[in-house]
Structure 1
C-alpha cells in the first residue's frame, strides 16, 4: 500500500458529491475534512457520503489548518478565486472546478500564487479524459489536417437552462459561456495546443432566461443564455465559437477543423433538449480529404470505453499529488480559456471587437 492521500473539500453542493464519489473509489485516498459556509451543511455532507472519519467546518480556513495533500474546490464560481488563493498560500495543492474564475484578473492571480508557492493548480475539465478527445487532438497534432486555419465549435441545448446560483451574475460571473462554453473552448484549444488568442468579436443574449414562459426564475436571471464569437489567434487562425442554453433549434452544428490537407468533423455524443454539449461524449469523427483527386470521407473509428471521465479527472489529480506534479490540466493553460470568456463578455457589452491581453506571469 502507498501513502494515504489526505483530501479536503471546500463547498458541499451538488458537484462536491461527484468529487466525494470519485475519491472514495481510489485506493489509499481519504477525505479528512469538508468546509461549507452554511453552518451544519458540511456535517450533513459528511453523513450523506459516509465520510465519518472527516471533520466538518463552516470556515474553510479552519479546514486548511489540517494536514492535507490536496483540496477540491467545489464552491459557486464567485468563490473559486479566494478559496484557491487561501488554499495555495496554506501550502495545499488545488483542484478547482470549472470555470477557473469569474474574471481574467482572478485567473492571473491564481496562476501567479501557484507559481510562487510551487503548489499544483489543476482545473477540472473532465471531457479531456474521454479517449476520443485524445484521438481528435492526436490527429491534428500529427499533421493529418495540414495547417489548421479555421475551427468552428460550440454546444447548443434546445432547452437546458439551470437555475439557482448559475443564473446570477454576482455569483456565477457568466451564464452559458462559463457553464458549458468553456468545455467547447477546451475541446478546440487543447486540440490545437492552446494557441495565444488576440482579439474577440462577440454577441450574447438572454431572450429565454428572462422570459417567464421559458424559465421559472426569469426575474432573477441576469446572465447570457446564448453567445457567439469570432476569435483570432496567433498564426492566422480563426475560431467561430457558439454556445446556447436554450434556442428554437435542434443543434448548433458539429465541431469542424479546416486544414490545408484535410478537414475533420466531430459530432457531440449527446442529443435531446439537454444534449448537444461537449461534456465528455463524442458521437462520430469524420475526415474529409482527397485521394488521387477524389473527394473522400473517412470515418474514424471511435475508441470504445466504459471510463467515467469525471473519475479519471480525479485519478489524474491524485496521481499528480503522489508523484509531485505537474498539474494534469494546469492553470497556466486554462488562463487562455478564461481570457477568451472575459473578452467575449467585454465585446458583447461594448458591441465591438476587443483585444485580449494576458499579463506575463513568468
Structure 2
C-alpha cells in the first residue's frame, strides 16, 4: 500500500512509550494523534517522544474523530472497556494492552463489538512472540506427550507488588491474577490450543499488600497478592494456576505439562526477586520420557534469538491492519482467560467451586 497507516495512541503512561518506539521502526506507519484524559499530558508526551505531526487531545473520543487505521490503547485497566468499544464503533482497529478488562461482562461486550463492527481487536501478549514459546506449543501439539491430562503454571515474585491503580479493585478488577497471572494463563492455554474451561475452585489472599511492613500503600490495598486455583476443562484436563506478587519463597515451581506418553518441564528466564513469572522468555525446556524400559530426560535446545518481543507484537498488529489479516491474538481467545480469572475471584469469595460463565 502506498498510503501510510495512520495510528493513534490512547493513554500516555510508560507502556505507551514502548508502543511509540515500536511504531517508529515501521516506515509504513505514522502516529497522527495522541490522547490522555489529564489536561496537557498528551501534548507533553507528543513533544517528549518527537511526535511533531501528532495532534494532542484531552479525550479519546476526540482522537477517534480522526481518520485512523488503528489505535494502541495504553490506559489503566478500568478504561480498557470504554476506549476499546468506542474505538471499534468508530471503525478503528485496536491493539489493547493486557489485561483485557476489569470484568468478564466488559470483555464480552468488547468481543461482541469487534464482531459487529468488523474491526480487529487484538491483545498485547508479547511473550507469544518468543520463538521458544512457539517451540513449546509445537512440542505439545505434536502429540509427543500423548494425552495431556494435567498442567501446572503460574509464578511468583519474592517481592514485586505495584501500587496506584493496580491495587484499587474498581480500577484494576483484580490484582496479581490479572497483572501477571494473565501471562501465565496465556502461556499455558495458548500452548494447549485454548480449551474450554468448565469449573474453578480457588483461594486468594492479600497478607503482604495489606501489611505496612511490605507495602507503602497498605491501607489502600484492595486486591489479591496471591492466588491459587484448580481449573477443570473439557476433555478431562485440569490446570493448577498459582500466582504471587510477594511471598517468603524463591519460586512457586516450574510450569509442567503431564501427558500419558511424556512430560514437559519449563522454567522461565531471568533471576532475581522480580523474575519467576511468564512475562518474559523461556529459560529451559526438558522432556521427561521412558526409553527402552528406563526413565530418561532430554533437554530441548532453545532457539537463540535477539528479537524485541514488544516490537514484534506491535509490528504484527500493524502488518495485520495493513494486509487485512485476522487479529494476531484475538479477543475471543483472551476472553477465555478473563472468564477463568472471573471464576477465580468468585470462587475465592464464596469459598466453593464455581462454574465458568462463558456463553457459546
TM range (shorter): over 0.9
Secondary structure, counterpart of 1:6 in structure 2: strand
Secondary structure, counterpart of 2:78 in structure 1: helix
- In 2, distance between residues paired with 1:258 and 1:3? 50
Match of 2:77? 77
Match of 1:64? 64
- In 2, distance between residues paired with 1:211 and 1:27? 49
- In 1, distance between residues paired with 2:317 and 2:240? 31
Match of 1:336? 336
Matched, 1:22 2:22: yes
* Residue pairs, 1:159-308, within 5 angstroms: 159-308=159-308
* Residue pairs, 1:95-114, within 5 angstroms: 95-114=95-114
Match of 2:118? 118
Q: Deviations over 1:250-289 (max 9, x none)?
A: 0000000000010000001022111101112111000000
Asked if 2 retains the 8 angstrom alpha-carbon contact of 1:264 and 1:288, the reply is yes
Question: By how many angstroms is 1:14 displaced?
Answer: 1.1
Asked if 2 retains the 8 angstrom alpha-carbon contact of 1:195 and 1:234, the reply is yes
- In 2, distance between residues paired with 1:93 and 1:268? 32
Aligned residue pairs total: 360
Q: Runs of 5+ in structure 1 lacking a partner?
A: none
* Residue pairs, 1:299-318, within 5 angstroms: 299-318=299-318
Match of 1:327? 327
- In 2, distance between residues paired with 1:5 and 1:222? 41
Secondary structure, counterpart of 2:256 in structure 1: strand
Question: By how many angstroms is 1:338 displaced?
Answer: 0.5
Secondary structure, counterpart of 2:312 in structure 1: helix
Asked if 2 retains the 8 angstrom alpha-carbon contact of 1:129 and 1:280, the reply is no
Secondary structure, counterpart of 1:267 in structure 2: strand
Question: By how many angstroms is 1:322 displaced?
Answer: 0.8
Asked if 2 retains the 8 angstrom alpha-carbon contact of 1:270 and 1:277, the reply is no
- In 2, distance between residues paired with 1:325 and 1:150? 34
Q: Deviations over 1:32-86 (max 9, x none)?
A: 1010001000011101111010010001111000010101110000110010000
Secondary structure, counterpart of 2:235 in structure 1: coil
Q: Runs of 5+ in structure 2 lacking a partner?
A: none
Q: Deviations over 1:144-198 (max 9, x none)?
A: 1011000000010000001111111111111100000000000000000000000
Question: By how many angstroms is 1:2 displaced?
Answer: 4.1
RMSD of aligned C-alpha atoms? 0.8
Moved over 6 A (4+): none
TM-score normalized by the length of structure 2: 0.99
Q: Deviations over 1:284-331 (max 9, x none)?
A: 000000111111100000000010110000011001001112000000
- In 1, distance between residues paired with 2:13 and 2:325? 27
Secondary structure, counterpart of 1:235 in structure 2: helix
